[in-house]
Structure 1
Amino acid sequence: MSFCQTVWEDVAPLRRAILDHPFLNELAAGTLAPESFRHYIVQDSLYLAEYSRALALAAARAPTASGRLEFSDGAKVAVQVEEALHQAFFAQFGVTAEIAAASEPTPACLGYTSYLSALAATRSYEELIAGILPCFWVYWEVGCDVKPRAASPNPYAAWIDTYAAPAFGEATDRVRALVDEAAQNATAATRAAMVTAFRNATRFEWMFWDSAYHRAIWPI
C-alpha cells in the first residue's frame, strides 16, 4: 500500500467525523443557516490567501519540475478560481467588500494557516506537501459524498459542484502522486513526520467546518 493510502486509512475516523458533521449534512440538504455559510466563506477567503502562499513556497522548494508546475498552478487556482466562487457567494449572502476587509481569522483559521506557514518555514518539503494534501483530498471526498445526496434546488449547489468536479479530483490525484513520490524517497523519520503533518491538517479541516457551523469568534 502506498504512503498516501496508508495515511488515508490512518485518518479514517477523522474523515468520518468530517462527513458526518452537521455543517455538511445541512449543506447537502440545503438547510444550512445562511449565517453559518457566510461565516465559512469569509474565513475560507482568508484561509485561501495564506494557502496560496504555502503552495507557492512548496513550488519554490520542489525538487522536480512536475512539483514546481503543480504547486505553482495550485497557487494560481487558489487565488483565481476559488476567489471567483467566493465573490459570487459574497454577493448571494450579503458579504460586502467592507465586511470582508474588516474580518479577522478565527482561532481555527489562524491555527490552520499558521501551521502550514510553520511547515513551510521550519520543516521539510516532504512535511509541507503532506500538510497541503488534506485541503485537496478531504474536499474532494466531501464533494463526492455530498453531491449524490444534495437536495435540488440547493443554495449551495455551486460550492458542491466545484469540489465534486472531475478536474478537482484530477488535481487531487496529481498532488497525491507528488506526496507518494516524496515519501518513497524519504527516510523513515521524515515519513513519520509526514504522517503527523497530514493528520494535523486533517484535524484542522474538521475544526474549520465546526468553527463555521457554530460561527465561532475569539472567546476573549
Structure 2
Amino acid sequence: MKVSDALRQRADYIWQKILNHPFVVELYQGTLPIEKFKFYVLQDYNYLVGLTRTLTIIASKSDFDLMRKVLKLAQEEASTELANYERLLEELGLTIEDAVREEPSPTNYAYMNFMNLMAFLGTPYEGLAAIMPCFWSYMEIARYHERLLETNENSLYVNWAKVYLSKEYVELVEDLKGLLDKASEIEFHKLESVFERASKYEYMFWDMAYKMERWPV
C-alpha cells in the first residue's frame, strides 16, 4: 500500500466525521446560512496565507527536485488561489481589507501554528503530511456530496464546490500524494501522527466555521 493511502486509511474515522459535518452537508445542499459561509471565507483566506508560508518552509528544507515542486505549489497558492478568493470575497460583498483585518479564530490560529511547527521542526515529508489532509479532503468532500449539487439552488455554493471536482484540482491532489509517497518506510511512523492530527484540525476548522468561533476574551 502506498504511504498516502495508508495514512488516509488510518485517519478514516476522522474523515467520515468531516464528510458528514453539518457545515459541509448544508453547504452542498445549499441551505447553509450565508453568514456562516462569509465567516468561513474570511477565516480560510487567512489560513491560505498561513499555508503558503508553510509551503515555503518545506521547500527550504527539501532537495532540489522536491523544492522546485513545492515552490511551484506555493506560487500557485499565492497567485491563482488567493486571486480566486479575492473574486469570491467580492461576490460576498466583502473586500481583501476585510479578510486582512479578520482575526484568525483560536482553532485557525492553532492549525496554522501546527503546520508551521511541523515544517520547521520536522522533515519535508512531515511538513507535507501536515498540509495533505486539507487538499485531499476537499476533493473527497466534493466527490462524496457531488449529487447534492444537482438540487443545490445556491449558485455561489455550487460554483465554489465544483472547483474541487475539476481536473486541475484532482491533478494537484494526485501530485501531492505522489510526493508524499516517496517517504521512506522508516519515516512512515512519524507521518502517521502528523497526518492524523492534521485531519483532526480539518474537522475542527469546519466545526469552527459552523459555530462562527471567536476568541472568548
Matched, 1:193 2:194: no
Shift in alpha-carbon separation, 1:178–1:204, aligned structure 2, 3 A? same
What is the TM-score when the length of structure 2 is the normalising length? 0.93
Structure 2 runs not aligned, ≥5 long: none
| Distance apart, 1:216 and its partner CA | 0.6
Q: 2:110 is aligned with what amino acid?
A: G
Q: 1:2 is aligned with what amino acid?
A: K
Residue 70 of structure 2 corresponds to 71
Rounded to whole Å, the distance in 1 between the matches of 2:204 and 2:33 is 18
Structure 1 runs not aligned, ≥5 long: none
What is the TM-score when the length of structure 1 is the normalising length? 0.92
Rounded to whole Å, the distance in 2 between the matches of 1:99 and 1:59 is 30
Residue 153 of structure 2 corresponds to 153
Residue 11 of structure 1 corresponds to 11
| Distance apart, 1:64 and its partner CA | 4.5
Rounded to whole Å, the distance in 1 between the matches of 2:99 and 2:179 is 34
Match of 2:208 among 203, 206, 211: 211
Residue 24 of structure 2 corresponds to 24
SS of the residue 1:182 aligns to: coil
Choose between structure 1 and 2 for higher RCO, CA contacts under 8 A separated by at least 6 residues: 2
Which portions of structure 1, spanning 4 or more consecutive aligned residues, are displaced by more than 3 angstroms?
A: none
**Residue 140 of structure 1 contacts residue 163 of structure 1 at CA under 8 Å; is this kept in 2?**
yes
State the identity %: 28
Rounded to whole Å, the distance in 2 between the matches of 1:135 and 1:26 is 19
- Note the alpha carbon deviations across 1:10-43, whole angstroms, 9 max, x for none: 1111111001001011111111111110011101
Q: 1:29 is aligned with what amino acid?
A: Q
**Residue 146 of structure 1 contacts residue 160 of structure 1 at CA under 8 Å; is this kept in 2?**
no
| Distance apart, 1:156 and its partner CA | 0.8
**Residue 70 of structure 1 contacts residue 174 of structure 1 at CA under 8 Å; is this kept in 2?**
no
Shift in alpha-carbon separation, 1:88–1:3, aligned structure 2, 3 A? same
| Distance apart, 1:6 and its partner CA | 1.2
- Note the alpha carbon deviations across 1:156-187, whole angstroms, 9 max, x for none: 12210111112111111111111111234xx2
| Distance apart, 1:129 and its partner CA | 1.2
Rounded to whole Å, the distance in 2 between the matches of 1:22 and 1:120 is 31
Rounded to whole Å, the distance in 1 between the matches of 2:52 and 2:159 is 21
Rounded to whole Å, the distance in 2 between the matches of 1:146 and 1:74 is 26
Rounded to whole Å, the distance in 2 between the matches of 1:180 and 1:21 is 28
SS of the residue 1:200 aligns to: helix
